[in-house]
Structure 1
């Protein structure tokens, strides 16, 4: 029996926190990526970003997302509000995770019923627009056990953390290392560059590599240019750009 043909190395370009409010940050970058050729992207869409960006009140932005789908991009559900508005933390660990590490870990403390309701609400919005959805990514990648149990009950194919994709409903882990910046301050941007450069060298031969972008990255020239340059370099190295769903399909077929 002949051995299977090795698959080309790949990359996944992922836009986090997609909402009407964040589109002006992303627009110049997306236009620059489009000029590189066919580079499909996965857009992590928030139905009502910070309780002030309801997609139901942004028909023009929804039309933009539909056009991106027609171009071969993917939309995934990224929380519902992308804001942690639950009861105050009760432990030192929870205080660190929910008030210092991030204020946006919406699914960090939800029980199963709460998580299931928000997931149903988000999927219902996708359904009303006729948008296919295969994946859910929790804001800040933080998921409670209740959220994990809720995801097992839904017809979603994957979720993810910074270094893995998980095939649902079994939560089967697949290595998919990711690069991400913390761009809120100059020292964070400087450290992020050093870390990501080291990771690029470390993972040069990795089968796939994810680029996880955030709106704040787009507000600083250094981080914005870093992502575009890194994308170009990875493409020149022969990596094939794929959406998360397309990459997952490849793993199933392998």
Structure 2
């Protein structure tokens, strides 16, 4: 297990599913965050979101990401297609995970060679754009054992799940609790608010907190305002905003 080198508490603002088609959802929120001052963000970038958003065909959006890097933000690899394109699930568990829980668990069932090929393609894209990349986050945080083996072969520093960051290639776990909403319906948004408020109380003294935002959150005023107000409150309480990479740099082996 790893621990922080300092008692300074922090918060990480993480934008999931970043792609040309999701930028209009995020843009007003990002502009509002920029008004708060120096709040670096981690952008989880999908190279070809749902096979209809290839970044190579969106030079304007790529220039935006270039500019965000210059402002101190971080870009991380977030799958390749962010869509589960594999064969029909054969077991009840796999059917639940891949058709009910989510249709976007791209790396949930991949064999090692498949995962490695897709990860390398993503890293090649980042390299072609001149974007440094330290982290990979699997869509829906779902990773097969083959994906884990593939990650051990690549020059990446971290991956993550909802409650941990993992230093690669050893997969050393670091506590980093995360908040996330399910905002697709009114009852889900109500439940998410209650759950996140409870988690905020429970994790009040946690060294760091992650705010995991999704494009659908930005389409509803209640969830969008919740994230902005929560970020403001955590900063006012003394938490320092950091990217994932910057936070990882502050961790040392116990």
For Structure 1 versus Structure 2, the TM-score category normalised by the shorter chain is: over 0.9
Q: CA deviation at 1:202?
A: 0.4
Structure 1 residues 5 and 134: alpha-carbon distance in aligned structure 2, compared to 1, 3 A threshold: closer
Give the whole-Å Cα distance in 1 for the aligned partners of 2:241 and 2:235: 8
Aligned partner of 2:39 in structure 1 is 39
Deviations 1:98-147 (A, max 9, x none): 00000000000000000000000000000001100000000000000000
Deviations 1:182-202 (A, max 9, x none): 001110000000000000000
Q: 1:129 corresponds to which residue?
A: 129
* Distance (Å, rounded) in 1 between the aligned partners of 2:252 and 2:147: 24
CA offset at residue 36 of structure 1?
Answer: 0.2
Matched, 1:193 2:193: yes
Residue 70 of structure 1 corresponds to 70
1:182 aligns with 2:186: no
- Distance in 1 (alpha carbons) for counterparts of 2:58 and 2:66: 13
* Aligned counterpart, 1:15: 15
What is the DSSP-based 3-state SS (H/G/I as helix, E as strand, rest coil) of the residue aligned with 2:88? Answer: coil
The higher relative CO (CA closer than 8 Å, separation ≥ 6) is in 2
Tell whether the 8 Å contact from 2:5 to 2:250 is kept in structure 1 after alignment: no
Q: CA deviation at 1:7?
A: 2.8
User: 2:111 maps to what in 1?
Assistant: 111
Residue of structure 2 in register with 1:218 after alignment: 218
Equivalence for 1:161: 161
Aligned twin of 1:204: 204
2:77–2:135 contact (8 Å) kept in structure 1? yes
Secondary structure of 1:67 counterpart = helix
Aligned length: 251
Aligned-residue RMSD, C-alpha? 1.2
Q: How far did residue 253 of structure 1 move?
A: 8.2
CA distance in 1 between counterparts of 2:191 and 2:164 reads 23
Distance 2:220 2:146 in 1: 36
Mapped partners of 1:77, 1:5: distance in 2: 27
Normalising by structure 1, we get a TM-score of: 0.97
When residues 133 and 161 of structure 1 are mapped into structure 2, their CA distance, relative to the original with a 3 A threshold, is same
Aligned counterparts of 1:143 and 1:8: Cα–Cα separation in 2: 31
Aligned partner of 1:95 in structure 2 is: 95
